[in-house]
Amino acid sequence: MRAATQNLLAKGPAAATAAIQQALAGLHLGGRPQPHAAPGMPPEAPPMRDINPPPGAAPRTATAPQPEAEAFREAPRAARAQHAQKAPDAPDASAAPDTPQAPPSAQAFVEDLLGQLGIQAGKLPAGLDLGKFEMPHFDMPDLGGVPGMPGKSKQAPVPEGAQFVSGSYTNHAGTRSYKLYIPSSYHGQAMPLLVMLHGCTQDPDDFAAGTQMNAVAEEKQCFVVYPAQSQQANNHKCWNWFNALDQQRGQGEPSIIAGIAQQVIAEHPVDERQVYVAGLSAGGAMAVIVGTLYPDLFAAVGVHSGLPYASAQDLPSALSAMKRGASGNVAKAPHTEGASPPIIVFHGDQDHTVHPRNGEQVIEQKLRAHGATQARAEADAGSVPNGHRYTVTTHRHEDGTPLGEHWVVHGAGHAWSGGSAAGSYTDGKGPDASREMMRFFRTVAG
């Protein structure tokens, strides 16, 4: 183990990233995620831009890492720094890179890498014997210079007459910047507002370019605001959906996101009956939290590849939820003023980063909040020409008003469905999640 870890550290961040992903695939958290493949579908998903090979498959050379996986990229650097602090008399690795050094223990090494997600340190799952675990020796593909990779600035195109302006909001929980899209059709009239929460490693420009939500806003005449997670709050710009503080109304990041929406409302003529929130991955999980805590502010919620409310409170439960869904019964939503807003959920059934079970649980949580007997469901299947097949289940109140939609995209992984290659973590094979979400929001608005 020591020799393997030392070899890994010497190879640099890319090798460590691959190794820790392989390690996570072997955690005793319910085993390998089982894709919910539709009958008649081929066993392997068609090629797409996100990286979702089955465990053990050869790494692809022109695919983007997934948001949560990318969060491990720079972790070995922190592991080396931590080890140096614990052993101040050890040789300086940067000054003498070829000088052998004793690596940290396996558990400390893995926990430190996982800690770079921003998840508070905790005990690893019971039954995991890292002393017998050997890290494989293989390299991640070099993604430098590949278009659409995280970390590159991707300025979304702005049509003539439109604006994509920067702003900032501060409250007791902190400060976050944001970008607000104002469509060219705006001439002082009241319009809906959509809050879009990016995934890990992303930023507003990247998320706007990938989802093409600004183009949809041009068509539908809507403001779109993109809050930006700060690297100070999370090293890899993940929204902290797994922290207990960030699952409370008036506290943490939910209060900041709600405050950004309220600031835009105060500064622009927003139709306050049509304020929505949506997100991808960590942003999708946070969208569920914000919509749950602020039903008086948000009229509907959009979730892509996210997790249910309060699905994790620490490291083991966060990893478990991502690998197999929230354990036991999904936590009930807290009592808040106002009715729980309708929700639309997208999830690929080949998602190996956030298990598809989470999408099901988001809908189950919604139905439980309203009482399962008060909703009726209708299922339909379809396909995108030269793209993915999908199944959409529509849930309605007894009076026919929308309660929720659950889209399962067959063959899709951890990527925004129908997105553009101009941004990261997108799958252009559809269906178009951006337009379907906006259509659902408008349906809810009546």
pLDDT tens digit sequence for 253-287:
999 999 999 999 999 999 999 999 999 999 999 99
Any domain includes 379: yes
pLDDT at 297 over 50: yes
Band of the pLDDT at 331, cuts 50, 70, 90?
Answer: low
Is residue 295 domain-shared with residue 409, that is, in the same domain? Answer: yes
Euclidean distance between CA atoms 159 and 216, whole angstroms: 12
Any domain includes 147: no
Is residue 297 domain-shared with residue 237, that is, in the same domain? Answer: yes
What pLDDT score does 334 carry?
Answer: 64
Give the three-state DSSP class for 406. strand
Of 112, 132, 152, the last residue of a domain is: 132
Query: Tokens for 163?
Result: 């604006």
Is residue 185 domain-shared with residue 254, that is, in the same domain? Answer: yes
Any domain includes 309: yes
128 vs 3, higher pLDDT: 3
| pLDDT, average across residues 166-174 | 98
Any domain includes 158: no
pLDDT at 336 over 90: no
Domain hosting residue 19, numbered range: 2-132
Any domain includes 398: yes
Q: What dihedral angle (degrees, nearest 10) is formed by the CA atoms of 167, 170, 176, 177? A: 10
DSSP secondary structure string for all residues of 45-106? PPP-SB--PPTTPPPPSS-BPPHHHHTTTTHHHHHHHHHHHH-TTS--TTT-TTS--PPPPH
Is residue 120 domain-shared with residue 232, that is, in the same domain? Answer: no
Is residue 56 domain-shared with residue 173, that is, in the same domain? Answer: no
What pLDDT score does 234 carry?
Answer: 93
Whether residue 196 contacts residue 208, with contact meaning beta carbons closer than 8 Å, is answered with yes
Is residue 330 domain-shared with residue 255, that is, in the same domain? Answer: yes
Any domain includes 121: yes
Is residue 294 domain-shared with residue 215, that is, in the same domain? Answer: yes
Is residue 349 domain-shared with residue 222, that is, in the same domain? Answer: yes
Phi, psi of 423 (to 5 degrees): -120, 175
**Which residues lie across from 171 on neighbouring strands?**
174
Band of the pLDDT at 146, cuts 50, 70, 90?
Answer: very low
Whether residue 254 contacts residue 247, with contact meaning beta carbons closer than 8 Å, is answered with yes
**What sign for the dihedral angle of Cα 38, 42, 48, 54?**
positive
Q: Which are the contacts of 415, defined by CB distance < 8 A and separation ≥ 6?
A: 48, 49, 50, 66, 305, 348, 425, 426, 427
* Domains of the chain: total: 2
Please give the sequence-ordered ranges of beta strands (E in DSSP) within 153-268, or none if there are none. 163-171, 174-182, 191-197, 223-227
Cis peptide upstream of residue 91 (ω within 30 degrees of 0) = no
What pLDDT score does 337 carry?
Answer: 56
Is residue 26 domain-shared with residue 168, that is, in the same domain? Answer: no
Burial (CB < 10 A; 0-12, 13-18, 19+), residue 277, is: buried
Burial (CB < 10 A; 0-12, 13-18, 19+), residue 142, is: exposed
CATH number for the domain including 360? 3.40.50.1820
Any domain includes 139: no
328 vs 203, higher pLDDT: 203
25 vs 346, higher pLDDT: 346
Whether residue 137 contacts residue 188, with contact meaning beta carbons closer than 8 Å, is answered with no
Is residue 258 domain-shared with residue 127, that is, in the same domain? Answer: no
Is residue 128 domain-shared with residue 167, that is, in the same domain? Answer: no
CA 255 to chain centre: 19
* Average pLDDT over all residues of the chain: 74
Among 56-65, 213-222, 332-341, 402-411, the least confident range: 56-65
Report how far apart, in Å, the C-alpha atoms of 124 and of each of 69, 83, 272, 281, 314 are. 18, 19, 45, 23, 10
pLDDT at 301 over 80: yes
pLDDT at 112 over 90: no
Any domain includes 231: yes
- pTM of the complete model beyond 0.75: no
Euclidean distance between CA atoms 44 and 411, whole angstroms: 7
Is residue 269 domain-shared with residue 367, that is, in the same domain? Answer: yes
Strands 389-397 vs 402-410: parallel, antiparallel or unpaired:
antiparallel
